[in-house]
Structure formats: structure tokens, C-alpha cells
Structure 1
Amino acid sequence: MELANRVKALTPSTTLAITAKANALKAEGHNVIGLGAGEPDFNTPDHIIEAAYRAMKEGHTKYTASGGLLSLKHAISQKFKEDQNLDYSPAEIVVGTGAKQSLYTLFQVLLNDGDEVIIPTPYWVSYPEQVKLAGGVPVYVEGKEENAFKITPSQLEQAVNNKTKAIIINSPSNPTGSLYSEDELKQLGEVCLKHNILIVSDEIYEKLIYGGASHTSIAQLSPELKGQTIIINGVSKSHSMTGWRIGYAAGNSAIIKAMTNLDSHSTSNPTTISQYAAIAAYEGTQEPVEEMRKAFESRLDTVYEKLIKIPGFTCVKPKGAFYLFPNVKEAVKLTGFETVDEWVSALLEEEKVALVPGSGFGSPDNVRLSYATSQEKFEEALERIERFMKNNSK
């Protein structure tokens, strides 16, 4: 049977072959170290789990309003007020089945065929595919490594035309961990206001920031920018709740209403029990969030110094998230491979270390390593990579 054109246009995940190969090696009994994790390696805090259990015991197992529980929207609203001094009413918030689904719904209600969305590279793998599924056209702007993978106002200005509908800003970033400063956001925001471009601000990693840096939402810089921005966020990364699938969008009430209407015909509502858990995440103690952040920062400071000593590796030290995104172009040359993808495949075969090739993020000279794994395993993986480099250098 013929498939729909919309799915034929999707780019297959470049990590699929590596993942399948890693799983096959594990099944054969090999000790494979996977550094591809996109989720914290901490369990969800106890008070959140207990809140979900109470909700089930109290009978909160039925449908909710499509856009989410009013009590959860109030908790999200309070979070915005406390963290960024932003005011969002319940009518300006829609809760979705994870931040990914919130992004998907946003593009579905926002884009018409041929509308362009500016996506800085490196990018999270689902951005361009979601834009394409909505009939939009991804327009890539390179965040240069010498600028910590961040785009400049002049680059943005050059990419804008009469078809430009939106830009995605992901800060801190997956895969680079880069963080835009307040001044950098102001300058990008001026270009967006000048050309009436909607800003999609993906802030899912906002709680995982290191080195004394702080997170700024572009929406908090001025009332005009707040009105031009849709914030995407959730509890997946901040509270180690990836499997609970709760994310949300906040911004223009007309867009939020359209998203709510579309969700009513797709997901009906986010999982009820997970919503009660998310209320506990925001209204309960935030100590586990800070403990996790400190653990990630400690790992980063240790493994980064070891990583940059590997021959052929250069790496911008990230300020957020839990990824390292080194440039391995020289390492690939030293070992005689043609591409990073080939180098990654050989590393997995020979040393049983699974990395994510940067080609899937629009950056073919890099690889992504997640330190959302034990420091012991990560350091062992680095030792294996060093051995691989030594054994294969020409």
C-alpha cells in the first residue's frame, strides 16, 4: 500500500543503525557502553511518585480537560512567575504529552504549506521533521563552533524573507549545551520583532546550567518579545520525568486555543496521573532538581578535561544540558576513515562504545556524548576511545 507523502519526506534517524548495532552486540553478550542517552539517569523524586500514587488511589484516573488540569496550569503559571517574573494565565498555557508533542502541535496550527522556519544548526533531530510534517520548510542557519554554536543577528537577518514564519531558539541546546546570553537574545529578538517572526523558545533544559551561568528566557526581555514568543518546556529533564510525558506551551492565547482544539482531536488529554505528578514536581521541594544539577556539573568538569586530551578531539565546553559535542574531524583523519559516521560505526564494532554521530544534528564533523550516565562508565568509555585512536592512527 502506498504511504502518505508526508511520511515519505521524513529523514530516517541517523542513530537508528548505531542503536540497532549496539543492541545486537549487547544481545551477543558484549559490554557495550552507550553514551546516547537523552534523559537523566536519576529516578523521579519520591514525592512526585507518591503524588501520582495518591492521585490513582483517590480516583483521578479519568479524562481531564484537553489542555490540561486547571490546577496544573496554575502550578505552571506560578513557576513562570517565580523563575522569570512572567505572567501567563491558564488561557495562555496548554499542557501536552511531552514537550515534543507540544512542539508538534504548535507547528501544525502555525504553518501553511511553504512557510519557512529558521532552525539554527546544530539542532535537535525532531525540529526539521516536525516542520516538514506541518508542510513547512526548514531553513538552516549555521551556529559556528567558534561562536559556541550560536547564531548572530546578522546571520538571522540574512536568512529572513517574506516566507519566514518562525525561528526556533533552544537554550540551553541539545546537542551542544550552548547557552544564549541576555544580550545575545535581545539582539536576535530585535530582528524577530522587525520582521514579525514568531519565536519558538525551547527551554526544556533551563534547570541544567553550569559554571555560574544563568538562564534567560527571551520572553522576559520585553512585553513585545513576550507577545512574539511561544515558550516550550516541561518536567522531563528538570525533574527526571521523561517517561511521564508532560510538557507545555505558553504564549499567545489564540495560538494556545488552536493547539488545545487540535489536541482534543489527537491525544484527548495528557495522562491524568502524570499531570498530578507534574503538579507535585512544581509545587513540592526543588532540592532534587538542584542535587541532580550539581551531579551533572561535577561530571562535566571531570570528563571534559579528559575528553579534550584525546588526539583529534576539540570541544567547546557546554554551559547547560548534559551533552558534550566535540569536533572529531581531525580524529577521523588520523584514523583513516572517510566520515564521522564510519568512525562512529568502527568505534562501536571495535571498542563497544556507542556515540551519536553529529550528522543527525546537522553537524557532520561532530559527535554527541551524553554524560547522563555514571562517571565511572563515561571515563571507561573515554579510555576505550583513546585506545581506539592509538590502535588505528595512521
Structure 2
Amino acid sequence: MNHIAKRATEMPPFIVMDVLERAQAMEREGIHVIHLEVGEPDFNTPQCIRDRAIQAFEQGHTHYTHSLGSLDLREAICAYYDQTYKVQIHPDQILITSGTSPAMFLLFSALLEPGEEVIVSDPHYACYPNFIRFLQGQPVFVPVHEEDGFQYQPDEIQKKISSRTKAIFINSPSNPTGNLLSEKRMRAIADFSPFIIS
């Protein structure tokens, strides 16, 4: 009897972690490795952040926060968006997560019904289509090309929109290509009717 859900066993492996683990094994053997597998900085966490974390521990900030995350942090994010982008956001519109991947998984969990589609660029970060598939959604790929700066083409997206399309996923700056979607193209995509996830 298999105790693991079929959908979990059908997920393709995240090869990047296999490559990272092999690279780390090579380093333990004394081999110099240049890492190109994961998006991890090649420097330690800045001292000011480490100092603040130590201070928080020493002040007893080690307990559960609000379910959306620390109110102080959410208010600071609101202030940043107001000052930087002139966009007013309420703290209750912000959810703090431990990273982008958990945030995307939570978002797709809340958004998708079985069989609904999410448009994703190709190439793309390998985990995002897996999240969609795991939640019984269907990723629909729109190729982006180097000669066009890996930019989404709005007309190519429009061709992929169907009655089952729930969202268009915009990853800008993009992982893995690093491109920034132009404002003109972003506005054109925003005019489409599905949810825009960015």
C-alpha cells in the first residue's frame, strides 16, 4: 500500500538541489566549485541584520506573531510602498512568508480549483509549475526568447487564454533569465481578464 499521494509521486524532481548537493560534496573533497545552481548570495548575512536578529532574541521576540506576520513589519512594508511607489496598502493586505516559494504555494492553494490554468513563461523557475500541478491546476507555457530580451509577448499570452485560465504569472525580474518586463508589456498584460500574479 502506497501511503504517499499519487500527485506527490508524479512531481518531477527539483534537479537543482541534486546539483547543489553534488557540488557541496565536491567542495568537501577540496575541489573548487563555482556555483551556478541556486540563487544564493556569495556573501554572509550582513552584520546589521545579524545584530538585529540577536537583539530580537534577547528581547524575547521568539513567540507566535499575528497569522499574517509581524504587524510592525507589515506596517513598514506599507510605508515603503507608499514612499517608493505612491501606493497605499493596508497591513491586512500583506502576508509575511518565509520566502517566495511558500508564498506562491499558498497563493496557488487559495486561488486554483482542479483543472484551472495558470499561464507561465518558458523558461521559468522549475518549482512554480510543480506547485500548480500539485494543486491539480495546469500550467500553460508561453515561450519567451533571448532575441526579445526574454519578454512576454502579450499577443502570445492572449492566444493561450481559455475559459479555464485563472491567472497569468509574471515573474519580473525573472528567474532564471533575469529580465525585467517592460512597463508597456506589463500594462498590456494587465488588461487581460485573469488574475495577474506578480
TM-score (normalizing by structure 1):
0.48
Three-state SS of the structure 2 residue aligned to 1:91 is helix
Aligned counterparts of 1:184 and 1:33: Cα–Cα separation in 2:
35
Three-state SS of the structure 1 residue aligned to 2:50 is helix
Q: Which has the higher helix share?
A: 1
Query: Is the CA contact 2:16–2:38 (under 8 Å) kept in the aligned structure 1?
Result: no
TM-score (normalizing by structure 2):
0.92
The runs of 5 or more residues in structure 2 that have no matched partner are none
Match of 2:117 in 1: 116
Three-state SS of the structure 2 residue aligned to 1:179 is coil
Aligned counterparts of 1:57 and 1:183: Cα–Cα separation in 2:
48
Query: Is the CA contact 2:19–2:37 (under 8 Å) kept in the aligned structure 1?
Result: no
1:146 is displaced (CA, Å) by 1.4
**Which amino acid letter does the alignment assign opposite residue 100 of structure 2?**
A
Q: CA offsets, 1:357-393, max 9 Å, x none?
A: xxxxxxxxxxxxxxxxxxxxxxxxxxxxxxxxxxxxx
1:20 is displaced (CA, Å) by 4.3
Aligned counterparts of 1:178 and 1:149: Cα–Cα separation in 2:
6
Aligned counterparts of 2:20 and 2:43: Cα–Cα separation in 1:
22
Instruction: Report sequence identity in percent.
Output: 37
Aligned counterparts of 1:93 and 1:124: Cα–Cα separation in 2:
23
User: Relative contact order: is structure 1 or structure 2 higher (C-alpha 8 Å, sep ≥ 6)?
Assistant: 1
Three-state SS of the structure 2 residue aligned to 1:105 is helix
Match of 1:353 in 2: none
Alpha-carbon spacing, 1:36–1:16, altered in 2? closer, same or farther (3 Å):
closer
The 5 A counterparts of 1:1-394 are 1-2=1-2, 3-190=4-191, 192=192, 196-201=193-198
Aligned counterparts of 2:14 and 2:127: Cα–Cα separation in 1:
9
**Which amino acid letter does the alignment assign opposite residue 139 of structure 1?**
V
Aligned counterparts of 1:49 and 1:31: Cα–Cα separation in 2:
28
Alpha-carbon spacing, 1:61–1:138, altered in 2? closer, same or farther (3 Å):
same
1:7 is displaced (CA, Å) by 0.6
Number of residue equivalences: 197
Three-state SS of the structure 2 residue aligned to 1:132 is helix
1:16 is displaced (CA, Å) by 4.5
Match of 1:389 in 2: none
Three-state SS of the structure 2 residue aligned to 1:34 is coil
Three-state SS of the structure 2 residue aligned to 1:33 is coil
More divergent stretch after superposition (42-51 vs 180-189): 42-51
Three-state SS of the structure 2 residue aligned to 1:177 is coil
**Which amino acid letter does the alignment assign opposite residue 200 of structure 1?**
I
Query: Is the CA contact 1:132–1:138 (under 8 Å) kept in the aligned structure 2?
Result: yes
1:182 is displaced (CA, Å) by 1.1
**Which amino acid letter does the alignment assign opposite residue 53 of structure 1?**
I
Greater Rg over alpha carbons, structure: 1
Aligned counterparts of 1:56 and 1:161: Cα–Cα separation in 2:
50
Alpha-carbon spacing, 1:200–1:93, altered in 2? closer, same or farther (3 Å):
same
Alpha-carbon spacing, 1:166–1:151, altered in 2? closer, same or farther (3 Å):
same
Query: Is the CA contact 1:173–1:179 (under 8 Å) kept in the aligned structure 2?
Result: yes
Aligned counterparts of 1:144 and 1:39: Cα–Cα separation in 2:
25
Query: Is the CA contact 2:169–2:197 (under 8 Å) kept in the aligned structure 1?
Result: yes
Three-state SS of the structure 2 residue aligned to 1:11 is coil
